[in-house]
Amino acid sequence: MNKFLILILSAALLVPSLSAAHPGHDHKLMGTISSIDKNKVVVKTTEGKDMTFEITPLTAFKRGKQKGMQSDLKAGMRVVVNIGDGVEPLKAKEVQYSASTTTSTKQ
């Protein structure tokens, strides 16, 4: 009887956590910027597919670990874009790109 009661209690505690374990997640695009037109950006993904997303006033920009700006974005840059739930039209929540590295050659 005690084992049965423990089993029922365990199941009752486990069931609510199963439905909330994965309520949704943010989707990400990884690739290279093909073109930028005002607030519309086209990225060629690592799979070779062109994906267009919109930059909104709520879009955050990260340049490495620092805060970035929309004006930093240029064609040819590699980016990781958080597009939220992935429902079209795609809207960027965050755009991450690397800080430009400067290489100097000594002569």
% of the chain surpassing 90 pLDDT: 63
Residues 58/93, Cβ–Cβ less than 8 Å: yes
End-to-end CA distance of the chain: 84
Closest of 66, 21, 74 to residue 43, by C-alpha: 74
State residue 86's pLDDT score: 87
* Three-state SS at 23: coil
% of the chain surpassing 70 pLDDT: 73
All structural domains of the chain, each given as residue ranges with its CATH number in brackets, are 28-97 (2.40.50.320)
| Residues constituting the chain | 107
Radius of gyration of the chain (CA): 22
Question: Which residues on adjacent β-strands are paired with residue 18?
Answer: none
Closest of 63, 73, 61, 67 to residue 36, by C-alpha: 73
Provide the mean pLDDT of the chain: 83
Distance of CA 2 to the CA centre of its chain: 48
The whole-number average pLDDT for the span 14-41 is 76
| Predicted confidence (pLDDT) at residue 87 exceeds the cutoff of 90 | no
